Structure 1
Amino acid sequence: MAIDIDQFDERSPEELAELSNPEQVLKFLYKNRDRAWKAREIANRTGINENSIHSVLSRLEERELVRHKGPYWAITDETSRLRQAYDTHRVTQLFDGLYGEEDRDEWIQASEQANE
C-alpha cells in the first residue's frame, strides 16, 4: 500500500513501520466503530489477504477485542479492554526494542525444565 510523499517525509521510521494484520484490523474497526463489517470488506479495506482475515478476526474475538454476529464483525464496545490490549502491546514493543525479542522455544524449554 502506497503512502503520500508528505507522510513519507514527515514521519519517523517507527511511525512508518507496517502494522501487523491484527493491528490493522483493530485500527480499521476502531475508526469505523459506528458500523459492523463483513470479513471480505475488512480484508479489502485493510489490504489483508482474504485467506488470512478469518483467522485474524477469530484470534481477536478469542481475546474479546472484536464482536461477531452472523457474517458481521465490529470492534468491542469495551474501551477499557482495548486500552489494556494497546498498553500491553506498546510495553512489549518497548521491551523488545530495549532487550530483544523473546524466543518462544526458550520459554517452553525453561518451563519444561522447571516442571521436571
Structure 2
Amino acid sequence: MPIDIETFESSPEDRLQQSGETNADRVMQFLATHPDQAFTQSEIRDATGVKAGSISVVLSRLENRGLVRHKGNYWALGEADDVAAYTGMVESMRAANDRFGEENIEEWLEHAVDDEDTE
C-alpha cells in the first residue's frame, strides 16, 4: 500500500517496514535469546538482518528506553524490569492486533487532529 510523501519524509525507517516486525523487534528478540551475552553492532546487524545504516540508531533508541545496555563496543539486553515492561506491551499489541486487526496508518491519519486545529 502506498504512503504519502509527508509520511515517507517524516517517519523513521524502522516505522516504514512492511512486515509487522520492526528493526527494534528483531534486535530485542535476538538479544532476549542470548540474555547472558553481549554483542558488537556488527554481530547484532548480521544476526538480525537490520541494515548497516539503521543498526546504530535502533540500538541508541533502545538504550534510551532502557531496553539494551551499552559498554565499549558491546551491547546487551537491558535490565529485567524495563525488558519485562516492553515485552508486556509487545504482547498486548499482538493480542489486540489478533483480535481487532492491525492499525491502518492511512485510516488513523484521516481522523488525527492537526496541531494547528488545536491552537
- Unaligned segments of structure 1, at least 5 residues: 1-16
Output the amino acid matched with 2:113.
A
1:33-67 C-alpha deviation (Å, 9 max, x unpaired): 22211100111122222222111111111111001
How far did residue 80 of structure 1 move? 2.1
Instruction: Give the structure with higher Rg (CA).
Output: 1
- Unaligned segments of structure 2, at least 5 residues: 1-18
Tell me if structure 2 keeps the 8 A contact 1:66–1:73.
Answer: yes
Alpha-carbon distance between aligned partners in 1 of 2:75 and 2:68, rounded to the nearest angstrom: 7
Alpha-carbon distance between aligned partners in 2 of 1:91 and 1:106, rounded to the nearest angstrom: 25
Give the 3 Å change call, closer, same or farther, for CA 38–100 of structure 1 in structure 2.
closer
Give the 3 Å change call, closer, same or farther, for CA 89–111 of structure 1 in structure 2.
farther
Alignment counterpart, residue 39 of structure 1, candidates 27, 41, 44:
41
Alpha-carbon distance between aligned partners in 2 of 1:115 and 1:33, rounded to the nearest angstrom: 45
Identity %: 33
Give the 3 Å change call, closer, same or farther, for CA 83–113 of structure 1 in structure 2.
same
How far did residue 29 of structure 1 move? 1.1
Map of 2:64 onto structure 1: 62
Alpha-carbon distance between aligned partners in 1 of 2:85 and 2:104, rounded to the nearest angstrom: 21
Alpha-carbon distance between aligned partners in 1 of 2:103 and 2:20, rounded to the nearest angstrom: 17
Output the amino acid matched with 2:85.
Q
Map of 1:86 onto structure 2: 87
Tell me if structure 2 keeps the 8 A contact 1:37–1:74.
Answer: yes
Normalising by structure 2, we get a TM-score of 0.66
Give the 3 Å change call, closer, same or farther, for CA 113–87 of structure 1 in structure 2.
farther
How far did residue 105 of structure 1 move? 3.9
Map of 2:55 onto structure 1: 53
Normalising by structure 1, we get a TM-score of 0.68
Output the amino acid matched with 1:84.
A
Give the 3 Å change call, closer, same or farther, for CA 102–93 of structure 1 in structure 2.
farther
How far did residue 102 of structure 1 move? 5.8
